[in-house]
Amino acid sequence: MLPTILDLASLRSAYATGLSPLDLVEEIIARCSASDDPAIFITMTPEEELRAAARELVARAPEPNSLPLWGIPFAVKDNIDVAGLPTTAACPAFAYQPQADATTVARLRAAGAIVIGKTNLDQFATGLNGTRSPHGAPRSVFDRNYVSGGSSSGSAVAVAAGLASFSLGTDTAGSGRVPAAFNNLVGIKPTPGLVPNVGVVPACRSVDVVTVFAATVGDGIAIRRIMEGYDARDPFSRQATPASLPSRRPRIGVLDGAEREFYGNRDVEALYDAAIERARSLGAVIVPFDYAPFRQAAELLYNGPWVAERLAAVKEFLATNGGDFHPTVRAIIEGAKAYDAVDAFEGRYKLEALRQKTRAEWAKVDFLMLPTSPTTYSVDEMQADPIAKNSHFGRYTNFANLLDCAAIAIPAGFDADGHLPAGVMLVGPAFTDDALAPFADALHRAAEAGMGKDRNIALPEASRVLPTADDFVPIVVVGAHLTDMPLNHELTRPGGYRLRTGRTDGSYRLFALNGPIPPKPGLVRDPGFAGDGVEIEVWALPPAAFARFVQNIPAPLGVGKITLDDASCITGFLCEAHAVTGGREITEFGGWRNYVRSTSPVA
């Protein structure tokens, strides 16, 4: 029985215990047929094509979970190309048949993921509320009277309703984050240029970003890493170098004074304050900062010449098909005609002046924590005042791409009645995408808000994001230092943490050494050996602790570079070859843990 929310850990576990991709496809088909929200998708992948995709995957990679996203179902916002399905941008007259997948979609499919359909959006990705589509308004999974957020509305609802494991959105003004808040999801907004936009219908080409909606931070980061990477066909693609955060104990900037605006929504304000206290309890230093220059930069996106980029994206189509536009979308885009080239340069000058002012605030903090949206509205309220109320949603999101930031939106809990969710987002300087993730994950877990519409489910341990800061040194362990083994405390006491489990490549042999107490194995590399690899764990230690740990390793053990089955090469425990002479080879057990179990007395 599959859970409501199809997070990666749950699906991988199900696949490992007998579920097939074809079984999952049948479940997705059944769930979509039973959905009570007809506005989530614009185009579904035909059922027979879904089944064929599942069969093709198994033929290509028969072993369960043998690809990073083996059999994982995902949905794609309908301004991103999927070969075989039309791209419409929620405007039927604009529709075209792409000949190839967008770069992001191609990379995800190569990793084993299966596209289930194209999702609804605010037309031409213009809006943050989800009501600007001729295909209807996808609704919040918690109350059909309320908006789902936009423009990536259908993408968020598909994941929150359990119809997909993850989905792709786009984010120019906050469209990959606001829908996450309204549907109790994680929204991953990469630094502009980190993920290519090839095959994406542009909104504002210079600041558009492809985003991920997922159940957990760990899922979202794993998916983003598969999508990212330079693509020369995208003029805004960048060769990225990950940035670290300067403090082990993060300094988090929070709203203060007059810049705290929630448009009368005391529930969201209370949830924001509760998130601040959770951050404090997790060890963060809370620093009030001046949001004013960020807010002024945010206002440029719709009240400045950047709106002309929206016109540039569709000007030829608008000239011939103005009547096919949603009225609000058309009014916004046609407003761009009021700007000229002088306005564009003056807007750029103003943005750069504001960027200089934000530098003083960044000097105080490592990253910001802001409400994802300060409030929410019903569909009726939004449609009665579509411009003003939509702008409320973007108060804290609109600056992020203009100022070259990374952001992760996470759930922050539910209002006092347990009715509607709200969220917060962590925002950091360019390319802090990975650096933000451990604290975002910890904060999500501390909120105990569940995932999507399942608000009571615990987040899986397998998706936990551990710190990977530059001030930690990785080390591979194979024996008595493994989790739950007698010497594991030598790693945990000085502040070490487990990064991941894995295996060596096939050239390593494992032996039970004679004499050590507690018993220990010896790992030896034999270049001529072709085995299945040996179970290992990769841990991380602070540098000083790493030095003490290595200094105290007794002979015949030592450290050297160990090659893992993913071709990575990491410092770890090795044994001098002479010491295994006469010892029992235990390579056949696959690892020290299995060997120890085999020698333990049976009760």
Classified as helix, coil or strand, 585 is strand
| Of 151, 152, 165, 167, catalytic | 151
DSSP annotation string for 196-265: --TTB--SSTTT-EEEEEESSHHHHHHHHHHH-S--TTSTT---------S-SS-EEEE--GGG---TT-
Q: What token pair was written down for 178? A: 């606001």
Task: Put the strands of the sheet holding 166-171 in their side by side order.
Answer: 41-44, 114-119, 73-77, 166-171, 209-214, 186-189, 406-414, 421-428, 367-371, 251-254, 285-288
Classified as helix, coil or strand, 354 is helix
Taken in order 228, 291, 216, 39, is the CA torsion positive or negative?
A: negative
3-state secondary structure 65-119: CCCCCCCCEEEEECCECECCECECCCCHHHCECCCCCCHHHHHHHHCCCEEEEEE
The residue count for the chain: 603
Q: How many CB atoms sit inside 10 A of residue 494's CB? A: 14
Phi, psi angle pair for 145, to nearest 5°: -80, -15
List the one residue out of 175, 213, 181, 208 whose CA is nearest residue 193: 208
| Of 133, 152, 165, 175, catalytic | 175
Say if residues 125 and 91 touch (Cβ distance below 8 Å): no
In the block, tokens 């999952």 appear at 24
451 strand-pairing partners: 454
CA dist 424 and 449 (Å) reads 12
CA dist list (Å): 488 to 478, 485, 523, 554, 599: 11, 6, 18, 16, 20
CA dist list (Å): 547 to 412, 473, 552, 553: 40, 10, 9, 10
The helix (H) or strand (E) run that includes residue 344 is helix 341-362
In the block, tokens 């404090």 appear at 280
Say if residues 216 and 441 touch (Cβ distance below 8 Å): yes
Say if residues 266 and 374 touch (Cβ distance below 8 Å): no
Q: Is 10 a catalytic residue?
A: no
In the block, tokens 């916002």 appear at 77
Phi, psi angle pair for 82, to nearest 5°: -130, 115
Q: What token pair was written down for 273? A: 């304050």
Task: Put the strands of the sheet holding 535-541 in their side by side order.
Answer: 497-503, 535-541, 473-477, 569-575, 557-563
CA dist 93 and 84 (Å) reads 18
| Of 10, 77, 167, 389, catalytic | 77
Q: Is 281 a catalytic residue?
A: no
Say if residues 115 and 102 touch (Cβ distance below 8 Å): no
In the block, tokens 């910890």 appear at 442
Q: Is 151 a catalytic residue?
A: yes
Catalytic residue set: 77, 151, 175
